[in-house]
């Protein structure tokens, strides 16, 4: 019998982060406290919803990039690289306003996982607002069914996975095609599986914004494992996803 996993839930960055550490050690609880403090700090610096954040002030021209926390320049450079990789479908300027949230959440989750590794954990799972980074494994990751409340479409399983899902979820269609400015509704949801959540999450956002069928085609061309749910409930996946599929239509939770 191994030690009980250590769990933690934190409301931060406008969503819920959850942590499960399957190999907790003496340093784990302290590491979680530091991680949580760092997540709140990231939110203070990067939130576009806080008028006093560095990002908001930078966007209004009240701060120069060199006056910001050095992580701001790093994050914006990553956003630029992702924008170039995705033909501009990923952008840190949705609607013309500076908002790197599409990168920041996945990056913050990855940072949390990195900090747990630094504290000696090789077996943990961090999720934030439906995006997941795991270390070790196997972990069983349910993919929510966008059409059937409370149920999952399938379970993905594996080691060291990053799983991100974009959907027309909360607040209606919330991803816009940066080229037309219009909401994208091509997929009901799109899930990508990778190794590193920041990139996986940004790729998911971009592919979702491309709409159907371009998003899935793009994912396939980039050898990304993807699962798409169409508005009529039909599903499509790239060949790479089969590796992670554990079963189709298992009994939903509850």
239: β partners = none
Should residue 121 be labelled a site residue for other proteins when binding is judged by CB under 8 A? no
- Tell the smallest beta-carbon distance from residue 84 to other proteins (Å): 26
Should residue 164 be labelled a site residue for other proteins when binding is judged by CB under 8 A? yes
Should residue 247 be labelled a site residue for other proteins when binding is judged by CB under 8 A? no
Residue with tokens 């939770």: 253
Q: Show contacts with other proteins in window 172-191 (CB under 8 A).
A: 172, 188-189, 191
Which window, 18-26, 114-122, 218-226, 234-242, contacts other proteins (CB under 8 A)?
Answer: 18-26
In angstroms, the CA 163 to CA 85 distance is 19
In angstroms, the CA 57 to CA 218 distance is 35
- Tell the smallest beta-carbon distance from residue 37 to other proteins (Å): 9
Cβ atoms < 10 Å from Cβ of 168:
19
Instruction: Output 18 or 87, the one with its CB closest to other proteins.
Output: 18
In the chain, what's the furthest Cα-to-Cα distance?
57
Closest CA to 108 of 209, 9, 196: 196
Closest CA to 230 of 193, 196, 184, 185: 185
In angstroms, the CA 115 to CA 109 distance is 10
Q: Show contacts with other proteins in window 201-240 (CB under 8 A).
A: 231
The residue from 86, 121, 165, 205 that contacts other proteins (CB under 8 A) is 165
- Spell out, one character per residue from 123 to 162, where the chain touches other proteins: x when CB under 8 A holds, - when not: --x-x-xxxx-x----xxxxxxxxxxxx-x--xx------
Should residue 168 be labelled a site residue for other proteins when binding is judged by CB under 8 A? yes
102-208-145-103 Cα dihedral, nearest 10 degrees: -10
Would you tell me which residues interact with other proteins (CB under 8 A)?
4-11, 15-16, 18-20, 24, 29, 32-33, 36, 40, 125, 127, 129-132, 134, 139-150, 152, 155-156, 163-165, 167-172, 188-189, 191, 231, 252-254
């Amino acid at each position: 019998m191994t030690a009980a996993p250590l769990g933690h839930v934190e409301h931060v960055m406008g969503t819920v982060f959850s942590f499960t550490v399957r190999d907790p050690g003496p340093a784990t609880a302290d590491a979680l406290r530091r991680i949580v403090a760092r997540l709140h700090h990231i939110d203070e610096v990067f939130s576009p919803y806080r008028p006093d954040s560095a990002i908001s002030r930078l966007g209004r021209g009240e701060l120069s990039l060199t006056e910001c926390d050095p992580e701001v320049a790093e994050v914006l450079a990553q956003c630029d690289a992702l924008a170039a990789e995705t033909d501009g479908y990923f952008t840190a300027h949705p609607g013309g306003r500076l908002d790197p949230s599409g990168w920041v959440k996945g990056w913050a989750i990855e940072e949390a996982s990195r900090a747990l590794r630094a504290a000696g954990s090789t077996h943990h799972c961090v999720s934030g607002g439906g995006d997941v980074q795991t270390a070790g494994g196997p972990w069983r990751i349910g993919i929510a069914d966008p059409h059937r409340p409370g149920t999952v479409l399938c379970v993905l399983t594996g080691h060291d996975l990053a799983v991100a899902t974009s959907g027309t979820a909360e607040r209606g269609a919330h991803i816009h095609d940066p080229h037309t400015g219009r909401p994208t509704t091509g997929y009901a949801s799109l899930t990508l599986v990778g190794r590193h959540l920041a990139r996986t999450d940004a790729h998911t956002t971009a592919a979702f914004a491309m709409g159907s069928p371009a998003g899935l085609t793009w994912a396939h061309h980039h050898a990304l494992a993807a699962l798409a749910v169409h508005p009529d409930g039909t599903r499509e996946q790239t060949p790479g996803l089969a590796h992670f599929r554990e079963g189709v239509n298992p009994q939903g939770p509850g």
